[in-house]
Chains A and B, each alone.
Chain A
Amino acid sequence: MEETAGSYTAPAGQDEIVAALRAGDEATFAALVDELSPSMLRVALMFVPTRAAAEDVVQEAWLGVLAGIGRFEGRSSLKTWIFRILTNRAKTRGERERRTVPFSALAAADADGDEPAVDPDRFVADGHWRSAPDQWSSLPESRLLGKETLELVQTAIDGLPEMQRAVITLRDVQGWSSDDVRNVLDLSESNQRVLLHRARSKVRQALESYLQGEGT
Chain B
Amino acid sequence: MTTIWQRIRGGRSRGLTCIELVELVTDYLEGNLDADERARVERHLAGCDACTAYIDQMRVTIAVVGRVDVDDIPDAMKAELMHAFRDWAPS
Contact = CB atoms under 8 A, between A and B. Distances in A.
Nearest to A63: B84
Contact of B23 (A26, A132, A196, A197): A197
B82 A154 contact: no
Interface stretch (A10-18, A98-106, A111-119): A111-119
A4 to B, nearest CB: 19
Interface residues on A, range: 35 or more
Contacts of B20: 127
A212 B90 CA distance: 59
Interface string B1-44: 00111000000000001111011011100101000000000000
B41 to A, nearest CB: 14
A77 interface: no
B65 interface: yes
Contacts of B5: 194
B25 A168 contact: no
A126 interface: yes
B17 A127 contact: yes
B70 A128 contact: no
A109 B55 CA distance: 27
A136 B61 CA distance: 10
B19 A203 contact: no
Contacts of B18: 123, 127-129
Interface string B50-91: 110110111011111111111111100110111011101111
Nearest to A111: B3
Contacts, number: 153
Interface in A56-107: 58-59, 62-63, 66
Q: What range describes how many residues of B lie at the interface?
A: 35 or more
Contact of A157 (B19, B53, B65, B74): B65
A14 to B, nearest CB: 19
Contacts of A23: 89-90
A190 to B, nearest CB: 9
A137 interface: yes
Given A42-B71, A118-B54, A153-B64, 11 more contacts: A33-B73, A33-B78, A33-B81, A39-B70, A58-B77, A62-B84, A113-B3, A116-B19, A144-B64, A150-B67, A200-B62
30 contacts: A23-B89, A26-B85, A33-B73, A37-B73, A39-B70, A41-B71, A55-B77, A59-B81, A66-B84, A66-B85, A66-B88, A116-B23, A118-B22, A127-B18, A128-B18, A128-B19, A129-B54, A133-B50, A134-B53, A134-B57, A136-B57, A154-B68, A173-B66, A174-B70, A175-B66, A197-B23, A197-B27, A200-B58, A203-B61, A207-B57
